[in-house]
């Protein structure tokens, strides 16, 4: 069994917001499907690190989840900044069960054990704390990541975030300190596209390996991480 990662699939089967108009994103859904099924088997697990769908609600989400569910392997998904359909874990799990999406698992204040590795994560948040609201959201995201890490059953933990905890010109100390506290060695994130991807850290910093796994950065192919 292998573990893969990818982020920012930005599906829109139930809405009218395809990404094909952006440079390099032409035929991205077909490319994701072809590349994914070429390397991922049904015994593998793929973590999708946020910005999964442009849907605004569960009704619009059905077609996107149907697409994901039919791709090879098990999927563990976490929230991105554009996942407006995201709801409580209870409601999302009920939605998944109701529609028979049996290859999709929700990562929200919890963790999953895969081949002696605990998959942990949360959305994360922005770096610049401009007002009281931002500070509250950051503190909430730090708390959610801590809950995920505390729930881990395996000593070896891999963290997935949507927002990058560090870039070439800034960093989120609160999240980085938490990663260090729990001895995290690998952290994967999305969110950065196009020119913004130049800010990505694809390197080891303070003993933690950081990798950007946004779709376009990976040529729309899940990245083998274990």
Is residue 128 pLDDT above 70, yes or no? no
The full set of domain ranges for the chain reads 3-224
SS3 164: coil
DSSP assignment letter at 116: T
Predicted pLDDT of residue 126:
76
- Percent of the chain clearing pLDDT 90 (strictly above): 84
Residue 194 has a pLDDT of 86
Per-residue pLDDT at 21: 79
What torsion, rounded to 10 degrees, do the Cα atoms 18, 127, 180, 114 define?
Answer: -10
Tens of pLDDT along 172-185? Answer: 999 999 999 999 99
pLDDT of 134 over the 90 cut: no
Point out which residues pair with 224 in neighbouring strands: 4
> CATH: 3.40.30.10, 3.90.76.10, 3.60.21.10, 3.30.750.24. Which one for 3-224?
3.60.21.10
């Amino acid at each position: 069994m292998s573990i893969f990662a990818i982020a920012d699939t930005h599906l829109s089967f139930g809405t009218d917001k395809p990404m094909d108009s952006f440079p390099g994103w032409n035929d991205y859904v077909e490319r994701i499907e072809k590349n994914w099924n070429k390397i991922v088997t049904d015994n593998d697990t793929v973590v999708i690190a946020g910005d999964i769908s442009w849907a605004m609600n569960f009704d619009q989400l059905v077609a996107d989840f149907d697409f994901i569910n039919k791709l090879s392997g098990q999927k563990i998904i976490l929230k991105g900044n554009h996942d407006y359909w995201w709801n409580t874990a209870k409601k999302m799990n009920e939605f998944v069960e109701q529609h028979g999406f049996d290859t999709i698992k929700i990562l929200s204040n919890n963790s999953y054990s895969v081949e002696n590795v605990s998959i942990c994560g949360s959305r994360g948040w922005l770096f610049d704390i401009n007002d009281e609201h931002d500070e509250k959201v950051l503190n909430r995201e730090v708390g959610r990541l801590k809950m995920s890490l505390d729930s881990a059953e395996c000593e070896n933990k891999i963290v997935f975030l949507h927002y990058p905890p560090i870039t070439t010109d800034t960093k989120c100390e609160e999240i980085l300190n938490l990663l260090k506290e729990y001895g995290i060695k690998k952290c994967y994130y999305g969110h950065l596209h196009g020119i913004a991807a130049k800010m990505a850290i694809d390197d080891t910093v303070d003993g933690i390996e950081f990798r950007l796994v946004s779709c376009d950065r990976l040529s729309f192919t899940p990245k083998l991480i274990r």
